Amino acid sequence: EGYTTAQNRQLFSEHFTALPLPTTNQTTFKLGFRDKQLEVTNTEPLLTQLLSLGESVTYGCKMGICHQCQCTKSKGVVRNILTGELSDTGEELIQLCTAQMMTDVELKA
């Protein structure tokens, strides 16, 4: 938004809020992780769910900035909750803290 100050200079400000997690009709998915089949939902990022299931996962900021939780997704589709972008169905790097399940997924640990 733009504002005019007393000296007739324009001042701009930005406001940031967290994006809501988009959802699909299906809420429960299978996650292949370290030779295990886990049941997870698409209501929270993968990192949050893995930690709540007691899995040991490397992470840092939990906000998509540091890339410490980056891993390889070998199949399935996830949505980046920051950008809304859907992943490819094949192998690619994802960040667990910003990945929301959209289909069953396999991760390489």
Type of residue found at 20: P
Average pLDDT value for residue range 3-32: 67
- Say what the pLDDT of residue 19 is: 47
Give the H/E segment covering residue 52: helix 46-52
Would the pLDDT of 95 be above 50? yes
CA distance 67 to 95: 6
Which residues have CB under 8 Å from 74's CB, separation 6+? Answer: 90, 91, 106, 107, 108
pTM: 0.75
